[in-house]
């Protein structure tokens, strides 16, 4: 195959190689990788395909293309991913934010009528910080605590918070879920690992070879993280607080049972854009919170 002389030719070659390798969305991946290698916007790629390609540009494209052909995710190659319209830095220290997780943000905002209220947020297993940062962006007077057991993930979350100008409203804590916290929090969000161990080998190589297994696999049945998180929620939730937990499409009934076993009521399920159960919501009766000795406050 002849070396590409123009940007348009480089784009066509990249698209062909990715398609021949069986990579889905070969056209989109090619545009992102070529644009990133040449520091060109999507409109530049489309509008000026005749632009001459330098040897240095060809080498940068080839290097990125080799990584993608090795099934490394595009987001790790470029170091960027958009979530809730926020540009986020991503690294293998944390999961790549998925559009499905935006269901949690939509659900929280749909129930948080007074967005100017000084909400107290808790994000368990924050990773890149995507959930906490999206909520801080939408709730201008909120403060958030973001927890992760991975120091590398917390460093990534802090980097994203600084880049977005939200670091002054975010506290980062290295801990095992909510065990080190007392609350109270108005909103608790979590996207815990929920893939069953037996399903790991069947995942796409982009996931299995590059994303952190500990952030994806939740024990034999995919529910071990929920068994660790849910018992602590009554202690950290405010009297009128609510929990929002991401889940796998076939796990909502099992998680609802765990929540009921710990006194939760008003349990709801929110579907993602594909119509699959994605977010479990739950709150505790006020009476139980008082018995547990939680401080009360006016709504």
Q: At 26, which helix (H) or strand (E)?
A: helix 26-38
* Other residues' Cβ atoms within 10 Å of the Cβ of residue 78: 15
Segment 274-297 mean pLDDT: 66
Looking only at the bridges linking them, the beta strands covering 80-83 and 277-283 are unpaired
Coil, helix or strand for 218?
coil
Exposure letters 232-252 (e unless 16+ CB within 10 A, then b) = bbbbbbbbebbbbbbbbeebb
pLDDT interval class at 289 (50, 70, 90): very low
Residue 297: per-residue pLDDT: 35
- Looking at the chain, the whole-number percentage of residues with pLDDT higher than 70 is 95
Taking each helix axis as running N to C, give the angle between helix 102-111 and helix 130-138, from 0 to 180 degrees, rounded to the nearest 10: 30
pLDDT of amino acid 2: 65
Q: In what order do the strands lie in the sheet with 277-283?
A: 170-174, 143-148, 120-124, 185-190, 237-246, 277-283, 265-271
What is the C-alpha separation between 150 and 255, in angstroms, rounded? 25
Residue 60, phi then psi, degrees to nearest 5: -65, -45
The residues, any chain, with a CB within 8 Å of residue 62's CB and separated by 6 or more, are none
Q: For residue 290, name the pLDDT band (cuts at 50, 70, 90).
A: very low
The pLDDT value given to residue 4: 82
Calpha distance 61→56 (Å, rounded)? 9
- 181-198 per-residue burial string, b: 16 or more CB within 10 A, e: under 16: bebbbbbbbbbbbbbbee
Distance separating alpha carbons of residues 113 and 142, to the nearest angstrom: 13
CA distance 149 to 243: 20
For 149-160, what is each residue's pLDDT tens digit? 999 999 999 999
Confidence grade of residue 183 (pLDDT, cut at 50, 70, 90): confident
Half-sphere exposure of 249 (CA within 13 A, CB side): 6
Q: Could you count the other beta carbons within 10 Å of the beta carbon of residue 153?
A: 24
Digit-coded pLDDT (tens) for 67-90: 999 999 999 999 999 999 999 999
pLDDT at 150: 96
Average confidence (pLDDT) over 173-181? 94
Residue 200 has pLDDT above 60, yes or no: yes
pTM over 0.85, yes/no = yes
Q: What are phi and psi of 171, to 5 degrees?
A: -110, 130
Phi, psi dihedral angles at 44 (to 5 degrees): -65, -40
User: Is the pLDDT assigned to residue 121 strictly greater than 50?
Assistant: yes
DSSP string, 139-196: STT-EEEEEES-HHHHHHHHHHHHHHT-GGGEEEEESSTTTT----EEEEEE----B-
C-alpha closest to that of 94 among 137, 36, 157: 157
Q: pLDDT of 37-69, one tens digit each? A: 999 988 888 888 888 899 999 999 999 999 999
pLDDT above 90: residue 294: no
């Amino acid at each position: 195959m002849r070396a590409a002389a123009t940007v348009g030719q480089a784009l066509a070659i990249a698209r062909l190689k990715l398609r021949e390798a069986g990579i889905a969305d070969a056209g989109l991946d090619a545009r992102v990788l070529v644009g990133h290698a040449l520091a060109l916007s999507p409109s530049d790629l489309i509008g000026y395909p005749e632009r001459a390609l330098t040897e240095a540009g060809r080498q940068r494209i080839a290097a990125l293309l080799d990584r993608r052909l090795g099934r490394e995710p595009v987001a790790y190659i470029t170091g960027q991913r958009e979530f809730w319209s926020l540009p986020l830095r991503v690294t293998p220290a944390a999961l790549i934010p998925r559009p499905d997780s935006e269901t949690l943000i939509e659900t929280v905002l749909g129930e948080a009528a007074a967005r100017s209220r000084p909400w107290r947020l808790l994000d368990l297993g924050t990773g890149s910080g995507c959930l906490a940062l999206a909520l801080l962006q939408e709730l201008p007077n909120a403060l958030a605590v973001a927890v992760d057991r991975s120091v590398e993930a917390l460093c990534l979350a802090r980097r994203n918070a600084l880049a977005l100008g939200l670091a002054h409203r975010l506290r980062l804590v290295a801990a095992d879920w909510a065990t080190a916290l007392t609350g109270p929090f108005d909103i608790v969000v979590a996207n815990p690992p929920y893939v069953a161990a037996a399903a790991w080998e069947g995942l796409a190589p982009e996931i299995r070879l590059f994303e952190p297994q500990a952030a994806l696999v939740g024990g034999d049945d995919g529910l071990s993280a929920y068994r660790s998180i849910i018992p602590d929620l009554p202690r950290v939730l405010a009297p009128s607080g609510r929990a929002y937990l991401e889940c796998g499409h076939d796990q909502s009934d099992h998680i609802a049972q765990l929540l009921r076993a710990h006194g939760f009521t008003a349990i709801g399920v929110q579907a993602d854009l594909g119509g699959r159960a994605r977010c479990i919501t739950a709150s505790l009766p006020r009476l139980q919170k008082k018995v547990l000795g939680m401080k009360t406050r006016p709504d």
